[in-house]
Structure 1
Amino acid sequence: MKFSNRNVFLITVLLAFLLTAGSCVAAFAAGLEERVVVYSTHGEAMLEMVADAFEKETGVRVDFINLKGQLGDRVRAEKANPQADVMYGAPSSVYQELMGEGLFAPCKPEWADRINPLFKDSEGYWYGTIQTPVLMFYNSDMLSADKAPKDWSDLANPQYKDMLVFRNALSSSARATYTALLQQYQRKNEMDAGWKFLKGVDANTKRYYGSGSLLFQAIGRKEAAISFAVLNSIIDNKVKNRMPLETIDAASGSPVITDGIALIKGAKHPAAGKAFVEFAGSAKVQAMLANKFNRMPTLPEALKDCPKWMSEIKFKVMDVDWGALAAVQSAWMQKWDSDIKDSSKDGK
């Protein structure tokens, strides 16, 4: 049977309509709204993968916005009239801070009981979907293992003058790391020593970068030898970009950030929001992100389907009270930004 161009066009339009209608019917049958709005710190490629997979499975359209370090402030600013349904990404300290302000609604995904208590709120206000170790590392073409720092305290040693480059406080991982280090001094009632340590680190820092890619480019160009970053970024640059990077198992341990997900209180699409939380934290999606983006899962059952290094790499975990840190992180980072960052260059 032959079809005219007009018939072919009409059939194409009809098929497109049926596919769209089918998605809407699937969402309606599941009792879900037709869309869900997600605010996130994750990169767009990763968000697109999760969004496409969620829409394929549920028929719900995902509208997402990448807000990086401004995510918490945006959710807070919209408290009276939430524009998003789900907060996806950012460290657990930010979730605990916003939870304390009544910005989240509790929910319990099917996998909730299988996650280590370290990676979730006991009352179900947020859950960790990715565990993100932050490790020091160095360019082994510039520095030998015996000359590299052995612990975070070494970063203030004058021998490393102009050998350090770091992220600025807009990076959620940098905020979490700087404040986790300060907390170690706070516990000993030595906050003055903690600020002095950070000033020493700043004196050795050649430059702060607004993006991780620029930081790794600087290390690759041998502009500096030492930095810290989330482990998956180090592995990415070592394997994919063939950079001569070596991680440091810090003597006092390394902070492990939990990237979370939560349902926003007063969400306009609560059913779709809950479904997205369920989906994004599932073992299937955690393994998918592990293989595509080197994100380490929080669900133990996901590890069997993840890259081998995630099970093999060993590092000491720093003892950090992320709940206590949530209450002071903003104030500490304001002080870091105004009194510490580039203070050696400004003559402060």
Structure 2
Amino acid sequence: MKKILGKILVASLIFTLTACGSKESKEVAKPKVQDEKLVIYSTHAENLIEAVASEFEKKTGIKVDYINLKGALADRVLAEKDAPQADIMYGGASSLFIDLSKKDVFEKTNPSWAKDLNPLFKDPNGTWYGTIQTPVVMFYNSEMLSSEEAPKDWSDLIKPEYKDQLVFRDARSSSAKATYSSLLYQYDKEGKLSEGWEFMKALDSNTKQYYGSGSLQFQAVGRKEASISFAVLSSIIVNKEKGLPLEIIDAKSGSPVITDAIAVIKNAKHKDAAVKFLEFAGSPEIQSKLAVEFNRMPTLDAAIATSPKWMQEIKYKAMDVDWKVLSEKESDWMQKWDSEIKNNN
């Protein structure tokens, strides 16, 4: 009887240890709770965010929720600073990220691809990184102007011969806001901001119309209602491929280059997942994917090498702009432009 009881006790002990070991191994294998979900606030088009998010979900198994906040992105992130509801801020000009960095909204991070970025495309303190570069350049209708007749620089736009030959976006467009502010900065950095405002008045005087829509702006140039405008480079390329007779101007003083950035939000609920997404979204593979599928120009040279041909061949001069200064002054400048300059002539 004792022998049988002993065997039963041994068997019971073995079963218990086996069960505990099995349970322990299962618990070790379970993913961390914070890695099971990721929340993104973005300004990118939903089809673009979906393309990146779905690839990330496939690779990591982490579920992604995203909200497109467009112009309300920065305000929402700042309002939730003490209790963040999102883990990633994805998209928006670097001036927004610079402003929010000063308010201690982002975590310091160090993705592996950051070392290959031009300093123009990243925060020196490691709080945000550029994943898309967006040059804003002048262009003209080549059936209305010859290359000799076309302006060579932004300063030429106020010449009398270009009266009513200009159509632009209004300052609700991020590209127009960045461009008008960059032009004003050229005067501000020399301590001549008052001259900058005189230039903006003269520019407005030569402007035939402002549009709230990029498609209407290009249609106006295509219909020969005006011969000169400016837009993000990729949009010009797209419309040129559609058959519009457009030529790009590489301005002597350079063209503003907007950097679309990404950052991990400080005290995010799913920080580990956010760091993984940062590494993924800025990688050469994803930058190249967005270049091929969405015509977004990468910030990494390695991604440009596998991007559409025009991105590899296009050459342009970047305008000298201190985006830190613009992050501080852009809002006031654009308010003045909208209330005192636009359509005042």
TM-score band by shorter chain is 0.7 to 0.9
- In the alignment, what sits opposite 1:16? none
Identity across matched positions, percent: 61
Deviation at 1:29, TM superposition (A): 3.2
Structure-2 change in CA distance of 1:327 and 1:36 (3 Å)? same
Question: Any residues of structure 2 matched to 1:13-24 within 5 Å, and which?
Answer: none
CA contact 1:143–1:225 (8 Å) conserved in 2: yes
Question: Any residues of structure 2 matched to 1:227-306 within 5 Å, and which?
Answer: 227-239=229-241, 241-306=242-307
AA in 2 matched with 1:47: I
- In the alignment, what sits opposite 2:207? 205
AA in 1 matched with 2:139: F
CA contact 1:37–1:63 (8 Å) conserved in 2: yes
Deviation at 1:31, TM superposition (A): 6.5
Structure-2 change in CA distance of 1:169 and 1:79 (3 Å)? farther
1:312 matched to 2:313? The reply is: yes
Question: Any residues of structure 2 matched to 1:1-348 within 5 Å, and which?
Answer: 29=31, 32-239=34-241, 241-344=242-345
Deviation at 1:252, TM superposition (A): 0.8
Task: Give distance in 2, aligned partners of 1:30 and 1:296.
Answer: 35
AA in 2 matched with 1:137: F
Structure-2 change in CA distance of 1:83 and 1:32 (3 Å)? closer
For normalisation by structure 1, the TM-score amounts to 0.86
AA in 2 matched with 1:254: S
Q: Deviations over 1:147-175 (max 9, x none)?
A: 21111011222322222221222222222
Deviation at 1:67, TM superposition (A): 2.6
Q: Bigger shift: 244-253 or 328-337? A: 328-337
Task: Give distance in 1, aligned partners of 2:205 and 2:123.
Answer: 38
Q: Deviations over 1:109-165 (max 9, x none)?
A: 121212122211112100000111111011212222222111101122232222222
Deviation at 1:216, TM superposition (A): 1.8
Structure-2 change in CA distance of 1:72 and 1:207 (3 Å)? farther
SS of 2:305 mapped into structure 1: helix
Deviation at 1:212, TM superposition (A): 2.0
Deviation at 1:210, TM superposition (A): 2.1
- In the alignment, what sits opposite 1:15? none
SS of 1:29 mapped into structure 2: coil
CA contact 1:31–1:271 (8 Å) conserved in 2: no
Report which of the two structures shows the higher radius of gyration computed on alpha carbons.
2
Q: Bigger shift: 270-279 or 190-199? A: 270-279
SS of 2:35 mapped into structure 1: coil
Q: Bigger shift: 95-104 or 140-149? A: 140-149
Task: Give distance in 2, aligned partners of 1:77 and 1:119.
Answer: 26
Q: Bigger shift: 317-326 or 212-221? A: 212-221
CA contact 2:34–2:269 (8 Å) conserved in 1: no
AA in 2 matched with 1:85: D
Residue ranges of structure 1 left out of the alignment (5+ in a row): 1-24
Q: Bigger shift: 122-131 or 332-341? A: 332-341
Task: Give distance in 2, aligned partners of 1:138 and 1:63.
Answer: 41
For normalisation by structure 2, the TM-score amounts to 0.87
Q: Deviations over 1:86-117 (max 9, x none)?
A: 11111111111111111111111121212122
